[in-house]
């Protein structure tokens, strides 16, 4: 691995960790997590207790695995990167823990864009796993960045009350 690649991985890891760690909160700290807005003009998603608990569990699993993979990627520990990215890819806890009735209700209330973003996120994790299996640090860094991008984009759109630092700012028009 070249010195340039190692430096790129370390810088990316520092940036990713500095973004992810400060935004972690206990699910008990923020009752806004019960309602996730999907646009400023639309209604909030009405999470049932079981769907909310499953969602929180999935997000916690993704956070832990993402932090592990960033650290492992910076160290060139491909086995751990493969393991962590696979865990993210297969972290469909909502599907694993919810009853059939809860899943049907969830699909009725979730916006199509939310479902599409979730699908893309898991596809990126699978691509990261493949890059790690091929010991390709440049591609692995790209896909780890895409995962982080997916997190931030989803949180901006659907959880900006839980993560107010990610709330989209309204464009201002300078006065002349």
Domain ranges of the chain: 48-166
Contacts 24+ apart (CB under 8 A), 159-164: 159/33, 159/36, 160/37, 161/30, 161/32, 161/35, 161/36, 161/37, 162/25, 162/30, 162/32, 162/33, 162/36, 163/23
Q: What is the DSSP string of 143-164?
A: HHHHHHHHHHHHHHHH-TTTSG
Look at 18 and 173; give whichever has higher pLDDT. Answer: 173
Query: What CATH number does the domain located at 48-166 have?
Result: 1.20.120.10
Choice between 162 and 134, residue whose per-residue pLDDT is larger:
134
The least confident of 4-13, 19-28, 74-83, 106-115 is 19-28
Residue 5 — φ and ψ, nearest 5°? -65, -45
Q: Is the pTM of this model over 0.85?
A: no
């Amino acid at each position: 691995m070249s010195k340039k690649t190692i430096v790129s991985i370390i810088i990316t890891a520092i940036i990713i960790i500095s973004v992810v760690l400060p935004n972690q909160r206990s699910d008990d700290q923020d009752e806004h997590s019960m309602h996730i807005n999907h646009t400023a003009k639309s209604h909030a998603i009405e999470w049932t207790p079981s769907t909310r608990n499953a969602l929180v569990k999935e997000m916690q699993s993704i956070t832990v695995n993402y932090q592990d993979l960033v650290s492992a990627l910076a160290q060139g520990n491909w086995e751990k990167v493969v393991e962590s990215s696979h865990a993210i890819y297969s972290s469909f806890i909502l599907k694993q823990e919810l009853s059939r009735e809860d899943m049907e209700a969830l699909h009725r209330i979730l916006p199509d864009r939310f479902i599409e973003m979730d699908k893309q996120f898991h596809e990126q994790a699978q691509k990261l796993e493949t890059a790690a299996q091929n010991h390709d640090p440049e591609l692995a860094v790209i896909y780890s960045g895409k995962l982080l991008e997916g997190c931030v984009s989803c949180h901006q759109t659907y959880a900006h009350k839980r993560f107010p630092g990610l709330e989209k700012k309204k464009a201002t028009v300078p006065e002349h």
